Amino acid sequence: MSSPKGSRAQKTRLPVFTRKGPLEVPSPTEKDWSKDDEEDYVFKDPDEELDSLPQPYRMINKLVNLLFDRSWEVIEERDTLRKSELSWIQPTIYPPLVESKLNNMPNCMAVSQDYVFIGGAKGFSIYNLYNAKQVYVWEKLKVDVTSIWATDLGSEILIAPVDEMGIIRLFYLYKDGLFLIKAINEVDDTSKQTTCIKMEISQGGDFAAFLLQGAGDIWLDVYKLPKESWLKEVEHPQLTINPKKKVRQLQLNTLDPVTSDNSEMDINICFRGDVKLSLPVHIMKIKPPKPVTGTTFKSPLEVFAKLEDCWGLGSGQSHFIRERQWEQQAAIFTASYKKYLDGEWNEGPLSMATFHFLLPSCITAMPADVKSPSGVACVLGVHWTGSHNFFLYSLNRTLKDKVDPEGVWPCAAPIAVSQLGCSSSFLVLACEDGVLTLWDLAGGFPLGVVALPEGCFCQSVHFLRYFLVHEGRNVYPEGPVKSQMKCVVLCTDASLHLVAAQGTQGPTSSVLVERPAKHLDEAICAVAPVPALPGMVLIFSRNGCVHLMDVAKPHIICAFAPPRSYRLVVPWTPVFVVSSHHPCFLLRGDHPDEIESTEDDKNIQNSVFYFNFEAYPLLENISRNCTVPQPDFTDNVVFSQGLPLEKRCASFLQKRQSSRSVAPPCSWGCLWVKARCGSFDGKMRSAFTFSLQ
């Protein structure tokens, strides 16, 4: 896009010599002259000289050249990637074992016991986990179900679906009956309708907490669930008729149970709208902590007088900082960062809460007169967005009691993510500065603090059941393990890390997957541990790939994919569920024609694919032989330190007995005493040897 200077027809020009590089003054002496001086000159034909283009053609020329250069870089990069992929060992891709076709798109899934609960249009449906047959359908809503939870209560299941309006309902599934307990936040006046954002049910189903939002406010409602009364009421039902709700109950009773064509199905679930169950008891309403403002106290003694038995100490609400001091601090901050604060400040979003039900332990502060049964949650741990504090609230209270935290755990930075272990024995608090604090709730002490690499910030934490590498394979030790935990941390930059802690030893962090630098479609968007396979997690990528990774190596074991006619339309938010008690997981597959179809088109088939780990050659042996007795790990120093003291002493005595003859161990198994008698200078003497491990 440039033109030659001049023309032979107009003027004949002589060739010229042009010196390369900058001009400089030559040396006065001939001996200093360069011998290769002739090489510094280049011959140029004046007819080939180019004029610089005028604007805007010069800019267009640069843009076109830049476009060609970048295109060529992309071509070379793809060619290099294609050559490297040919040299890679591609993992084995396993297809689904069963495909369950649905008429409506499933929005969410949950698994409990032998059932799969799928939320979709106007309600939810129940499927058998083993044969993927539909057992029952409850569709009496005007909107879709967006999320669903299912909690195992023993022989019963508590189901909690949330619809698009944010209304959450509690259902009780017992044997062949489905019972509606209550719509927690449903009101007659739609202008006063609240929205359920998040919920949590305690281990065992004794308590439930719901994060509600409405009228520009947000709060946390905590309920006590009368599950013992529910069991009695469904075993000995008493029909109740409420005139105000007669129309609704009759409408629900018109639902017909869906029977399966499979003759092996013996259970046909039916809805029991004529049985009224006891309602959950509202025990507490928790609001976000108030912003810290200037004090109204006149002396430090008034500050301590406000605290009752030191409950709530550390929350920052009771202090002796004057309003004038806050104003001075704000003025200094504004003056220092004035150039960054010129824009208008917009009001931030409402503070969100993350909450967990904690079991009784010596680390949770509880009043002395409160005694909670073993295995039943006694404390609710809560932290709010942007807050440094992790608040502890006792669950032994009524709605009339004053809502004050019984304990506060302050952190050095705002808490971004928190996660409770599956057995409620461990807790991880991840702060916004990338520092993780690991707590052993059962042991009553912190396992340590670990910092993620620079630039990595926690997005989610996923606990793994503690495993060990025994004879080259991952196995679970039989029986309980003390003060040892492992978890995987997914960071905001799509990198994946393994965090491990062992007793008094400091926690360690290792990188499993690096942050994708060039190929952003390979970024990890979701992670799910697989309890049936020791030390393995499912990794979902933005390109729709699903891989199974062994975190001990680490490397990819295999991959899972739906049939080619299906794909993940929204791969960065996959709809899946992993069973905690069965070696399987379910994945929603979307048909390509569904994107171009309208909402009224009912001919489009949506499918849920069932993957069974025991059906694949590479995984069947891992799933079936994943537990090893603890005596096989006696030589493992790390594992032996996590065993209870009695088992450590018993293991030590067995080793000593195998090496030489010793006296039988003591009954309490913590101290081994060997007494031997001898004579020394005619006197009897006893020598005792103590050995404690």
What span, in angstroms and rounded, lies between the C-alpha atoms of 535 and 473? Answer: 10
CA–CA distance from 192 to each of 218, 292, 598 (Å)? 13, 30, 33
Q: What is the pLDDT of residue 664?
A: 45
| The token pair that represents 10 in the structure block | 């107009």
DSSP conformation letters of 250-262: HHHHTPPPPPPS-
Q: Are 500 and 469 in contact (CB under 8 A)?
A: no
Name the strand (E) or helix (H) holding 110. Answer: strand 108-112
What's the alpha-carbon Rg for the chain, to the nearest Å? 35
What whole-number distance in Å separates Cα of residue 81 and Cα of residue 519? 10
The DSSP bridge pattern shows strands 270-271 and 177-183 to be: parallel
Neighbouring residues of 553: CB distance < 8 A, sequence distance ≥ 6: none
Q: Are 587 and 608 in contact (CB under 8 A)?
A: yes
CB 449 within 8 A of CB 436: yes
Q: How far apart are CA 469 and CA 343, in angstroms?
A: 56
Whose CA is closest to 428, among 436, 467, 356, 510? 436
What single DSSP character describes residue 275?
A: B
Q: According to the model, what pLDDT value does residue 4 have? A: 47
Residue type, 401: D
Output the 3-class SS for 304-324.
Answer: HHHCCCCCCCCCCCCCCCCHH
Strands 496-502, 484-491: pairing is antiparallel
- C-alpha dihedral, 654 to 655 to 656 to 657, nearest 10°: 50
- Helix, strand, coil content of the chain in percent (nearest 5): 20, 35, 45
Q: What is the pLDDT of residue 9?
A: 42
283 Cβ neighbours under 8 A, 6+ residues apart: 222, 223, 224, 395, 397, 398, 399
**Helix H or strand E encompassing 210:** strand 207-214
C-alpha dihedral sign at 301, 303, 308, 309: negative
CA dihedral over 120, 124, 130, 133, signed as positive or negative: negative
In whole angstroms, give the CA distance from residue 612 to residue 628. Answer: 22
Q: What are the backbone angles phi and psi of residue 282, rounded to the nearest 5°?
A: -75, 120
Classify residue 625 as exposed, middle or buried by CB count within 10 Å of its CB (0-12, 13-18, 19+).
exposed
User: How far apart, in whole angstroms, are the C-alpha atoms of residue 472 and residue 464?
Assistant: 19
Residue among 154, 177, 167, 175 nearest 275 (CA): 177
From residue 613, give the alpha-carbon distance in Å to each of 476, 524, 583, 594, 620: 17, 22, 6, 29, 6
* CA of residue 249 relative to chain centroid, distance: 39
Helix (H, G, I), strand (E, B) or coil at 586: strand
Q: How far apart are CA 664 and CA 673, in angstroms?
A: 9
Report, as ranges of residue numbers, the positions in the chain whose pLDDT lies below 70. 1-51, 85, 87-88, 239-267, 292-300, 302-322, 326, 338-349, 365-372, 565, 569, 591-605, 630-648, 650-652, 654-693
321, two tokens = 């900082």
What is residue 693's predicted lDDT score, i.e. its pLDDT?
A: 34
Residues 6+ apart with CB under 8 A from 261: 133
Instruction: Write down the pTM of the prediction.
Output: 0.73
For residue 276, give both structure tokens. Answer: 């009224």
Coil, helix or strand at residue 355: strand
DSSP code string of 638-657:
HHHHTS-HHHHHHHHHHHHH
pLDDT digits (tens, 9 = 90+) for 344-390: 555 556 789 999 999 888 777 565 666 667 788 999 999 999 899 99
Is there a contact between 436 and 499 (Cβ–Cβ < 8 Å)? Answer: yes
Cβ partners under 8 Å of residue 340, min gap 6: none
Residue 653: DSSP 8-state? H
CB atoms within 10 A of CB 282: 13
Confidence at residue 33, expressed as pLDDT on a 0 to 100 scale: 59
Q: Would you say the C-alpha torsion 674, 680, 685, 690 has a positive or negative sign?
A: negative
Tokens representing 568? 């993940």
Residue entry with tokens 């967006």: 146
Q: Could you tell me the two tokens for 594?
A: 């569904």
Beta bridge partners of 537: 529, 549
- Supply the pLDDT for residue 676: 36
Residue with tokens 């003056």: 335
In sequence order, the 6+-apart residues with CB closer than 8 A to the CB of 139 are 121, 122, 123, 124, 125
- DSSP H helical segments within 200-322, as ranges? 227-235, 246-253, 300-306
643 token code pair? 């065993």
Q: Does residue 478 contact residue 465 with C-beta atoms inside 8 Å? A: no
Q: 507 preceded by cis ω (within 30°)?
A: no
